[in-house]
Amino acid sequence: MLGAADRARGIREPVRMSPSRSTTARRGRLGPGELAEAVVLADVSLALTVLGQVVPLGSALLIAAVVPLAVVAARHRLRAVITGTIAASAVGFLVIGSAAFTSMGACAALGALVGAADRRNWTRRRTMVVGLAVLWPATAVLVDLILLAFANLRRLTLDQVRNGWRGFFHVLRNLGLVRVARPGEHLLTWIVREWWLSVPITLFVLLWFGIWLAIGLSTPALRRVRGAFGAAVVEDEPPDTAEASTEPEPVPVALRDVRYRYPNAHTDALAGITLEVQPAELVAIVGSNGSGKSTLARLLAGRRAPSSGDLIRPGAVGLGREGGTAIVSQRPEAQVLGVRVRDDVVWGMPEPARVDVDAFLERVGLREFADRETSTLSGGELQRLAIAAALARAPKLLISDESTAMVDATGRAQLVTLFDDLAHRDRLALVHVTHRAAEAAVADRTITLAGGRIVDVPARLRSEDRITTSEHRDAVHIGGPLITLEGVGHVYSRKTPWSNRALSDVDLTIREGEAIVVVGHNGSGKSTLAWILSGLLTPSEGSARLDGKPIFDQVGRVGLSFQHARLQLLRPTVLDEVRSAGGVGDAEAHVALKAVGLDPFRFASRRVDELSGGQMRRVVIAGVLASQPRAIVLDEPFAGLDADGRAELDALLTDLRRRGELTLVIVSHDRDLPEGLVDRIVELEAGRIMRDEPLEDARPGPHS
Amino acid sequence: MSRAETLTPEREPKVRRETELTFLRLVPGTSPVHRLWAGTKLLIAAELALMLSIAPTWPMVAVTATVVGLELLIARIPLGAFPRLPNWIFVFVVVSAALSLWSSEKPLADVGGITLSIGALNQWALFTSLAIVLVVSGALVGWTTPLGDVAPALEKLFRPLRWLRLPVDEWIIAIGLAIRCLPLLIEEIRIVAAARKLRADDDTPTRETPRAVFRQVLAETHDLMATAIVVSIRRARDLADAIVARGGLGAATSLPGARFGVTDALALVATTALCVVTLAVLHL
């Protein structure tokens, strides 16, 4: 505890040189970073294993399932591999039964070996020798013991093997291949009789191949991961003991001339920051991408210590602790930890039974959601759930780090009202970080950041969400029908208890050169429509045609850019990616990069993992353009972009439309599209088209 | 994975049999089986697996199949809930049955001058039914249990392991997170696969040596794996941030949920008695 004098002086954040350690050297319980990576990668391994059981040639996937665990082993302690494997096996038991234990166990053993070898820079031969020397005797003895214990099952299985092969040799004999069949039968008899020897020999051969393949598959993946994230995971230092033993008292917090620079960075992310946050105060921090506003949120939340300057608060930050600091971040689905809404509210709390979960859900307007699974909630609902989870800890400081960025207009309005209420009725200190100046209207104070510094601009309440460009769109020519959907409907999981209708009776004609926007809420069927338009999904009813032929026979002729751009970047560098996505050579790839406003000479050899979110999206669009598609479908292209990013993308798309006969379908949950970008709006609700009409164009077009 | 290949260009989309994995999804309903404590269902599944491993014989298959069948009936699991497996699995099953028939396991039967091994066919049928019972008994737990109940139930079942000073808390937290993340990851893998499918096939001419084609396929596999893993690590970082924002991992505690009740005791005792009696009658 602190003495009265200490309290008066406040606690100063020590200035540290971020002495992070590699997590391979740690001991004791797994930290959040280690556990999260182990679980997620083991899950990937499980998914591959399950697919391996039901897909033809699935055994290739069974070996691929080693790679994620090898990555865990290369980056973390053995304990992380074991915990991840146990978790995935338990989940796998519900999917493929006890086979999950054997296959996950095998993956873990091979993965641990290959990962350790990678960390120690062993040669392939050394890995093979060590692997066989360690793994083979252990597995051989274990399997023999199991076979000895379950004698009946052993007999049945061996009989099964014998009968199958005997039948095979019988067929060979009938084909006149007695010279092959006879020694084969002898060998078979020996294998079945001397199982205690033949099984370990088989295991040896399998292990030899397994290790060999695992090294071959894992090494390139490990190299890529190292390229993207560095050699091993470094975590933020765990809160020091002083922090953990001090009572949380995060506000009032004062920053005096605070500067912050990320490790290995050449410029300051923040400089000369002086500000104060009081209880019962709603402070908006406004700035565009890269202005340092999220870094500031991290400093306030105690996730980072300032490189210089003072950060003074009366007690500990107490992130996630009762009476401490709570944070709601940008991506709604990323902060959900519980399977059920109710569980998520109390996740990680010491005494969940004492929390009045319903009251907190009521507070954010989610009362009737308590027993729903979190995967069924929309973005805005998830953000409100995150706030309920924050409130359950009775925080004194609530930080919203761009929590409204990925939410639709209705959801945003609800969140902002809630923040207003929490600050002024419940007297929380509330810091709302946003790139939308309009949201600062309810704030008591607005701090505008630019280039890591506080700038002295009064909150300009220009409507940043609507961008009006004065360019003329005179060259756009709209031709005949290109894509026609007639009576299209789709039902997922048909004829199962989970049968779920996503679309019904959709008639839609998209003409050449036209740009339309498809809007609708979560679950309105707009993503299903995007998959059908690009031929990835065959509709269960009706017909979807491109140039008069079914689209699903022409996959690739309609380009699709997914919302999550990173998932679509399959090659290591920008140039490779555009060439592969477009199926073109260097010259065309350069042209495509120029078309999306990325200088080929600067970007061609960049690694895709170094790009920002907006740049990734541009590279995806470049790849789609290079493949010269008949039409392009963009899924939520504006989500998460700030005003500048939106303006740039809008200009890019408008420009592309003007230059070529580009047919464009934008799928969005948000109506706030740049004005004049599209000619037509199609509104989906519960899988049906509720509205399909031309938009009054702000930019004079050819036929207005 | 779910889209069947279409080769004829002008074919209209017809009702086609799609492979569908229906595991880990709750069949809506409120039967006594649904209401059982998740741990009870897991224990029963484990028990059946153990019994079948000790005594893989027809009577035991009959007994365990009866237990599983009863559970299916009581829980009113419709036939549509069973996974629709791809055709090649059935081809594989039929081929292995045919090969067994050519074996020389007695008794043998003479059908139109061809000697067929009925004994081997019998063993094949036993082996196949055993595998089916095992898979269905596991899947049944998933069909009748809300996923949120699994980790708390395991927490109770694993309690004895704490005496061995094993980090049970860590495992339970990990299992809860694994259940939570699996659907998200499957969705991501589905999108990566779709992104691959959208690509113009490849950027090399088709007239290549088999070796070059093999390399091409290998390079492609590497790229897909690397993408999937890089994306997953990013997801893991978000997850870690979320955990830190909740004040760390804490203890493996959860809200009080379904508990071990009278029905659970009855179900467990009945199943155990049935298995033990069968085992004793048959094998002692």
Lowest-pLDDT choice from A34-43, A82-91, A320-329: A320-329
Q: Which of the 8 DSSP states describes residue A525?
A: S
CB A551 within 8 A of CB A559: no
Is A221–B98 a contact, with Cβ atoms under 8 angstroms apart?
no
| Shortest alpha-carbon distance between residue B39 and chain A (Å) | 12
Cross-sheet strand order for the sheet of A445-450: A325-328, A397-401, A429-434, A282-286, A445-450, A453-455
Is B239–A570 a contact, with Cβ atoms under 8 angstroms apart?
no
Beta bridge partners of A545: A484, A550
- Is the predicted pLDDT of residue A263 greater than 80, yes or no? no
pLDDT tens readout for residues A159-211: 888 888 888 898 888 888 888 888 999 999 999 999 999 999 999 999 999 99
Using CB atoms and an 8 Å cut-off, which of residues 42-81 of chain A contact chain B? Answer: 42-44, 46-47, 50-51, 54-56, 60, 64, 67-68, 71, 79
CB A272 within 8 A of CB A250: no
**How confident is the model over A214-228, as a mean pLDDT?**
88
| Shortest alpha-carbon distance between residue B69 and chain A (Å) | 17
Structural domain spans, chain A: 32-229, 241-455, 481-557+629-694
Choose the mutation target among A69, A78, A94 for the interface with B, i.e. most B CBs under 10 Å: A94
Is A95–B142 a contact, with Cβ atoms under 8 angstroms apart?
yes
Residue with tokens 């993308």: A649
Strands A253-260 and A270-277: antiparallel
Torsion of CA B27, B33, B34, B38, to 10 degrees: -110
Topology alike, domains A241-455 and A481-557+629-694: yes
So what CATH class is A481-557+629-694? alpha beta
| Shortest alpha-carbon distance between residue A495 and chain B (Å) | 6
Q: Which of the 8 DSSP states describes residue B255?
A: -
| Banded model confidence at residue A5, pLDDT cuts 50, 70, 90 | very low
> How far is it, in rounded angstroms, from Cα A184 to Cα A198?
14
Q: What is the count of residue pairs from A and B with beta carbons less than 8 Å apart?
A: 409
Q: What does the angle CA A349 – CA A350 – CA A352 come to, to the nearest 5 degrees? A: 65
Q: Burial of B173 by CB count in 10 Å (0-12 exposed, 13-18 middle, 19+ buried)?
A: buried
Residue with tokens 């095992």: B134
Show residues of chain A in contact with B170, CB under 8 Å: 29-30, 35, 83
| Shortest alpha-carbon distance between residue A703 and chain B (Å) | 34
B142 in A contact zone (CB under 8 Å): yes
CB-closest option in B25, B195, B200 to A567: B195
How many H-runs (helices) and E-runs (strands) does chain B carry? Answer: 10, 2
| Banded model confidence at residue A19, pLDDT cuts 50, 70, 90 | very low
Using CB atoms and an 8 Å cut-off, which of residues 170-189 of chain B contact chain A? Answer: 170-171, 173-186, 188-189
Show residues of chain B in contact with A77, CB under 8 Å: none
**Mean per-residue pLDDT of chain B:** 82
pLDDT tens readout for residues B187-241: 888 888 888 888 865 544 455 678 887 787 778 788 888 888 988 998 898 899 8
CB A435 within 8 A of CB A286: yes
Residue A609 corresponds to which amino acid? D
DSSP conformation letters of A368-435: GGTTSBGGG--HHHHHHHHHHHHHTT--SEEEEESTTTTS-HHHHHHHHHHHHHHHHTS--EEEEEES
Show residues of chain B in contact with A346, CB under 8 Å: 254-255
B5 in A contact zone (CB under 8 Å): no
Beta strands in chain B (DSSP E): 108-111, 114-117
- How much is the pLDDT for A163? 87
Show residues of chain B in contact with A546, CB under 8 Å: none
pLDDT tens readout for residues A509-522: 999 889 999 998 87
**Mean per-residue pLDDT of chain A:** 84
Alpha-helical segments (H) within B145-165: 150-157, 159-162
Choose the mutation target among A20, A29, A163 for the interface with B, i.e. most B CBs under 10 Å: A163
- Alpha carbon A384 to its chain centroid, in Å, reads 20
Radius of gyration of chain B (CA): 24
pLDDT tens readout for residues A586-643: 999 999 998 888 889 988 888 888 787 788 888 999 999 899 899 999 998 887 777 7
Is B229–A221 a contact, with Cβ atoms under 8 angstroms apart?
yes
Q: Burial of B28 by CB count in 10 Å (0-12 exposed, 13-18 middle, 19+ buried)?
A: exposed
Tokens representing B243 are 């955990």
Q: What is the ipTM of this complex?
A: 0.87
Residue B197 corresponds to which amino acid? K
A94 in B contact zone (CB under 8 Å): yes
- How much is the pLDDT for A22? 52
CB A685 within 8 A of CB A670: no
Q: What does the angle CA B242 – CA B246 – CA B248 come to, to the nearest 5 degrees? A: 90
CB A68 within 8 A of CB B233: no
**CATH, domain range A241-455:** 3.40.50.300
Q: Which residue has the higher pLDDT, A260 or B248?
A: A260
- Is the predicted pLDDT of residue A241 greater than 70, yes or no? no
Tokens representing A208 are 């030899």
Show residues of chain B in contact with A570, CB under 8 Å: 192, 195-196, 199, 223-224, 227
